[in-house]
Chain A
Amino acid sequence: MTYRVTGKWIARPAASAALRYGLAFASIAAALGLAHTFLYFHLPQPFAAFALSAIAITFWYGGTKPGIVAAALASIIRYTHWSEVSAVSRVLYDVVFVIFALLMVGVNRARSELEVRVAQRTAELTRANEDLSLEIAERKRAEEKLRQSEAYLAEAQKLTHTGSWVWEVAGRCALHLSEEWYRIYGFDPEEGMPAWDKRLQRIHPDDRAKWQQAIDQAISEKSDYEVEFRLLLPDGKVRHLHTVGHPVLDASGNLVQFVGSSTDITERKQAEEALRQAQSDLAHVSRVTTMGELTASLAHEVNQPIAAAITDANTCLRWLNRDHPDVEEAREAASRMVKDATRAAEIVSRTRLLFKKGTPQWELVDINEIIREMVALMRSEVTRYSISVRTELAEDIPQLTGDRVQLQQVLMNLMINAIDAMKDGDGTRELAVKSQRAENEQLMVSISDTGVGLPPQQADQIFNAFFTTKPHGTGMGLRISRSIIESHGGRLWAADNSPRGASFHLTLPVEAEAHE
């Protein structure tokens, strides 16, 4: 049942107006009927009591105006039916009816006010209820959204193998660890957040100091930190982790927490390792192929000191086999023999090193020494094609960090290319190898020839894989050379040489560069 609220009053339904006034007449008629019934049975005459009840009923159900009508009717009826009553009692009855009517007007007014108030309160409650349900629905939506967002985040963390965390600096305890974090560290989320010590134990013993140092530094400097380290899980599995942390400061600038993420980079590390191994294998194959081309020259190069050694040994015997052995001359021949054999051994070991297969060995190397070694190794090859070699090596060149064998390979490739470019040509055949300091802590090595020059219109392509101008070339030499130089943090490029031929230049940083 609803009421239309208009000011303080409530308009009762219009349709009931006739009924309400009808109620006045009907109730008074009923009171009259009852009074006559009482009279018939000679009971005390109770019209006044019945009339008051009728007036009250009419006021209550019919409203004020019908109530007044009922009171007036009662007064008239009492007057017309019971005229024998004294004038005083007549007035008394009328006064009672009027007071009663006035009281009932007051009751009705109070009731109406109460009804208005109830209606208002009901409306307010309804509104509040509606607001509340809206809010509940909103909250439910938000919760659902949050749950969804958390699910997305967890999925993203799973896909990227990234766990998030927050830890408190003062207590060295975790405040948040994501599901993925637990998976990476191999902890069970059901068992709650692992203690700091337990967490520390999962870090690979060899990397603990590194990790600790990164954290200590970040704490003392209130700075971000980034560290790569390994986990050693109880089942013996090793995981590579990349962690970044960001400091959280309170209002007064005190370090409170670190928030960050840890990414499992094991797969990437393995892929990198496999790639490095593949590159190294490829470089090795290429090197061996190149060395194969040099077999004749290398054999000659070893043969030379051996021939000298045999001759010196025979000479030595001649001096000793004389009737009067000349020990002094014999000693000289013997010491020449030592030199011969040493040279042969050097060539063999130099060659063997190039044939050796293995993972890159990073060490301090002297580029001039490498150049000299490779020039020595190429001696027979250049002689074979009547090529003169000119070396201009700057003596003040600092050492660099690199893989000796791979750098030798690059120089060998470039020198063989230079020789190949010149061996069928006419005119002077000169191979120039130059080393010098370059800008930005770099050194530059240039290998120039007076050969056929770079293929016209294809100068850019010579570094592409499988590009070759040689009948039996693999097309990998320059490609591999460039990747070796780039893995050393340097550059390799080609240019035309003046007045003819080609020049290959390579730069290498003298400072140790990242080579991972």
Chain B
Amino acid sequence: MATQAKAKLVAIVDDDELMRGALQGLLKAVGLPSRAFASAEEFLKSGQQHQTACLIADIRMPGMSGLELQAQLNAEHCRIPTIFITAHGDTKMRLQALRAGAVEFMAKPFDDEVLLENVRAALDS
């Protein structure tokens, strides 16, 4: 049970506090445990990346961007199914993210049902 719970951890990386709160609240409402990080650096430093079953990340953040975080995780052989949520994503960025292993690339504001479906899919994979 413990390992299963660990494996089902959803990590949220977003520099916006309101967004982090909203995502955490949503996951809590559907009974999914989550942890939020204000930056990519904070997430990498926490060591939680190895217990993370799904990553929800913003692309544009001060310091390391979401795409850079994804690249870093890939480099560390820590491929986490990642859902990007961004306000201004263009097609090029979207393709780049998907090629690097992203599960989904969503624009803000997003449909919570679609997000949850993606999260569940990531957790089941």
Contact = CB atoms under 8 A, between A and B. Distances in A.
Interface of A: 296, 299-300, 303-312, 314-315, 318-319, 329, 332-333, 336, 339-340, 343, 380, 382-384, 386-389
A311 B60 contact: no
Contacts of B19: 304, 307-308, 311
A123 B104 CA distance: 130
Interface in B10-29: 15-16, 18-19, 21-23, 25-26, 28-29
B61 interface: yes
Tell me whether chain B's interface is mostly helix, strand or loop, or mixed. Answer: loop
A333 B29 CA distance: 10
Contact of A308 (B15, B16, B60, B63): B16
A308 B29 contact: no
A307 B108 contact: yes
Query: 4 tightest A-B contacts by CB?
Result: A307-B109, A307-B108, A311-B22, A308-B18
B60 A307 contact: no
Contacts of B22: 307-309, 311-312, 315, 336, 340
A308 B21 CA distance: 8
B62 A318 contact: no
B2 interface: no
B17 to A, nearest CB: 9
A303 B109 contact: yes
Contact of B18 (A318, A332, A343, A383): A343
B27 to A, nearest CB: 9
Chain A CB within 10 Å — which of B22, B29, B61, B112 has the most? B22
A388 B62 contact: yes
A300 B87 contact: yes
Nearest to A322: B29
Contact of A383 (B15, B29, B30): B15
A389 B15 CA distance: 13
B18 A315 contact: no
A339 B17 CA distance: 11
B88 interface: yes
A382 B62 contact: yes
A472 B77 CA distance: 44
Interface of B: 15-16, 18-19, 21-23, 25-26, 28-30, 60-63, 65, 85, 87-88, 108-110, 112
Most B C-beta atoms less than 10 A away, residue of A299, A308, A309, A319 = A308
B8 to A, nearest CB: 19
B70 to A, nearest CB: 15
A293 to B, nearest CB: 15
| Residue with the greatest number of chain A CB neighbours at <10 A, chosen from B28, B30, B109 | B109
B26 A311 contact: yes
Given A308-B19, A383-B61, A386-B62, A318 B30 contact: yes
Contact of B29 (A307, A319, A380): A319
B29 A304 contact: no
5 contacts: A308-B18, A311-B19, A312-B26, A329-B29, A386-B62
B16 A304 contact: yes
B108 A336 contact: no
A340 B112 contact: no
B30 A307 contact: no
B29 A318 contact: yes
B26 A383 contact: no
B112 A311 contact: yes
A315 B25 contact: yes
Contacts of A308: 16, 18-19, 21-22
Given A303-B87, A307-B109, A310-B109, A336 B18 contact: yes
Contacts of B108: 303-304, 306-307
Contact of B88 (A300, A343, A382, A389): A300
B88 A296 contact: yes
A225 B65 CA distance: 67
Contacts of B109: 303, 306-307, 310-311
A389 B61 CA distance: 12
Contacts of A303: 87, 108-109
B88 A383 contact: no
B18 A305 contact: yes
Nearest to B23: A311
A307 B110 contact: yes
B120 to A, nearest CB: 14
A314 B25 CA distance: 10
A339 B60 contact: no
A310 B26 CA distance: 11
B25 A307 contact: no
B3 to A, nearest CB: 27
A340 B87 contact: no
A383 B29 CA distance: 30
A343 B19 CA distance: 12
Given A307-B110, A389-B62, 7 more contacts: A300-B87, A304-B18, A308-B18, A308-B19, A311-B26, A312-B21, A388-B62
Nearest to B61: A383
Contacts of A333: 25, 29
Residue among B23, B28, B62 having the largest count of chain A Cβ atoms under 10 Å:
B62
A383 B86 CA distance: 12
Contacts of B29: 315, 318-319, 329, 333
A388 B61 CA distance: 10
A296 B63 CA distance: 20
A73 to B, nearest CB: 150
A300 B60 CA distance: 11
